[in-house]
Structure 1
């Protein structure tokens, strides 16, 4: 279906095609399934750092339990979409303005990252004449070994070192304008193993129960973070959510005496599969014995493969129209490297990929591009045009301006 949509859209345009496409129906179906498999004591929040596109936030707001944010700007984006939805606010280096904004906009839980931040939040709350509900973010001494990125278990700027947590608890209990309701354990990114992830959740429960008992804390929440991954190398082998939920239910049952709400704050796993990035092939050339396909687009639109030094999965959408009187360049049964239009050798989206056939004018459709794509990319490097942002809904496609995210009125029909 997506191939036909892309072909139809290309026929309507004069310029080379480059766009992000988001399948909103697929997103709803995916997240509804996640929600219905959660144990009753669990809550699923969307971490909007993965993709804060306003249309996606509006789509997700009626489905998820809330949003997780990492800046005042993200708080304001969420409140522009929904005035009441619960918000979790984390991240290192919060400013006074951000903490004041969190209080103003009614953030549900603030994740405190250091002893200094504890005192700063208490000071601001005192000036405002209010009490702030907090979780202490912990940098555990252990983490999940298979995770692609680690925020805990290794020296990082995130959270409070596990060995310093008792000092943080003692300080929090002494500060009158803070209400300590639990702990936050976001420790990794892009873990693909369901069983090790469940083991991590169990370990978080054990740590939190220890601190609860030692310090007589009235705990309401345990936030086990996100970090559930996407397999970009083999898209047929993805994280086994059903197995993870079976394991999580056993963990929750094991710790039923805790009677807490378990919070998940997933980003990549929620939106990645609903997004696609389409880029038209502008040129095919050979240098030093290697075939290069140069596309209209690149890492200034989709930075993830360059940042992680990996190839991003794609399929080839054939476009039969060829408007020129000269021979159309192509390669057959060949290995190609997909490069973008930027003036840097780092602008590579996929390297040494075998393809049956690709021609100038065909379109490469990158899947699993709904998270950490446009949002993390250096959009204005070399001042190339931005891609279109298109939203598939039922039998129509709506467009928005990626720079302002204001919804436009245009609607494109497809068969």
Structure 2
């Protein structure tokens, strides 16, 4: 179960429109301030906007982060309009000429170059830019939820090609490397990866004339949907990073900052038993909250009306599904629930990242969800 704070439960029961995303901006601000405090004196903290670019989320994070990382021209324009003064780093494969021009026009601080061809087009544009070269290094990691494979970044041969281009292109300045290699790692695994990246990067950068290098370690800090109460150990991570006074380290978490502070609230439309299995059909579906389908897990939830629905305390394995015409429209399978009835309210937790913004919004053309930002009183 993933229970929202008491003040949010009251607001959720009073929502006029369902489904609704409910964001706890106060809680988010406290969380990112604590992360910022844990990293004090350590790496720069950029937020990966891809996790959740909601303007209210961005504005809540802005006072506590050093900048924002974007991965498309659309994200870049959105973040710049929302946070006009923010430092911005622009990464991601397949940048178009239009996006490279936009990076210059909208004052991107760091451009993460993903391939020699991308760098050659940037050089030909004659626009000045400070760049990090994204490295795709053969460093094996165990326990990763995702390994960032071939489309992302460059091997050492391609990096050497880029270094040669940069030596002959005075309007481009090599500032360092970006090496986000895996996601879903705990602090010890992230530190092991950071040490190996640093041991490779420093000699390579200094051999290519970078005296005060930047090393962007990316994001990928673990978020456990089966244990929402567990958190990444930011203090241990900051304390364990390599000590190099002349090096600027940077991290770009997204999910690990915002996942805990969003809920998707909806209602039971129908309850049925088919071949002995119990199902609850909910308003909305994975076209609003694609996270469980994408990650292959059961989305944690709490039944807001539990006290009113089942006086016996008995639970029944129930599969929670949405309204879509596909058997993949599943939030949770065989979850222990009180006996549900139409009208019961359910709040899915851990919905503050890669939720609405990663979903296929208009499949079957159901209404979009409402968004609510209740403040504590």
In the superposition, the TM-score normalised over structure 2's length comes to: 0.93
Cα distance change of structure 1 residues 340 and 46 upon mapping to structure 2, 3 Å threshold: same
SS in structure 2 at match of 1:293:
strand
SS in structure 2 at match of 1:139:
coil
Equivalence map 1:99-138=2 (5 Å): 99-124=100-125, 126=126, 130-138=127-135
The residue number in structure 1 matching 2:366 is 384
The residue number in structure 2 matching 1:197 is 190
In the superposition, the TM-score normalised over structure 1's length comes to: 0.85
User: Which of 229, 238, 246 is the matching residue for 1:236?
Assistant: 229
Shift in Å, 1:245? 2.3
Partners of 1:283 and 1:109 lie apart in 2 by 51
Partners of 1:359 and 1:240 lie apart in 2 by 40
The residue number in structure 2 matching 1:364 is 346
Contact 2:42 2:238 in 1 (8 A): no
Moved over 3 A (4+): 1-13, 319-322
Partners of 1:145 and 1:108 lie apart in 2 by 33
Contact 1:276 1:368 in 2 (8 A): yes
The residue number in structure 2 matching 1:325 is none
The residue number in structure 1 matching 2:32 is 31
User: Which of 302, 311, 318 is the matching residue for 2:289?
Assistant: 302
SS in structure 1 at match of 2:63:
coil
Partners of 2:210 and 2:369 lie apart in 1 by 50
The residue number in structure 2 matching 1:40 is 41
The residue number in structure 1 matching 2:146 is 149
Cα distance change of structure 1 residues 75 and 11 upon mapping to structure 2, 3 Å threshold: closer
User: Which of 282, 291, 296 is the matching residue for 2:278?
Assistant: 291
SS in structure 2 at match of 1:375:
helix
The residue number in structure 2 matching 1:187 is 181
What's the CA shift string for 1:312-333, capped at 9, x where partnerless?
11111107889xxxxx9x9942
Cα distance change of structure 1 residues 362 and 4 upon mapping to structure 2, 3 Å threshold: farther
Partners of 1:358 and 1:7 lie apart in 2 by 20
SS in structure 2 at match of 1:315:
strand
Shift in Å, 1:217? 2.5
RMSD (CA atoms):
2.1
SS in structure 2 at match of 1:91:
coil
Partners of 1:365 and 1:185 lie apart in 2 by 36
Structure having the higher strand fraction is 1
What's the CA shift string for 1:350-382, capped at 9, x where partnerless?
112122443322111111100000000011111
Shift in Å, 1:8? 4.8
Q: How many residues align?
A: 373
Instruction: With a CA cutoff of 8 Å and minimum separation of 6, indicate the structure with the bigger relative contact order.
Output: 2
The residue number in structure 2 matching 1:218 is 211
Contact 1:319 1:361 in 2 (8 A): no
**Is residue 2:364 matched to residue 1:393?**
no
Shift in Å, 1:393? 1.8
Partners of 1:162 and 1:238 lie apart in 2 by 34
Contact 2:20 2:265 in 1 (8 A): yes
Q: Which runs of 5+ in 2 are unaligned?
A: none
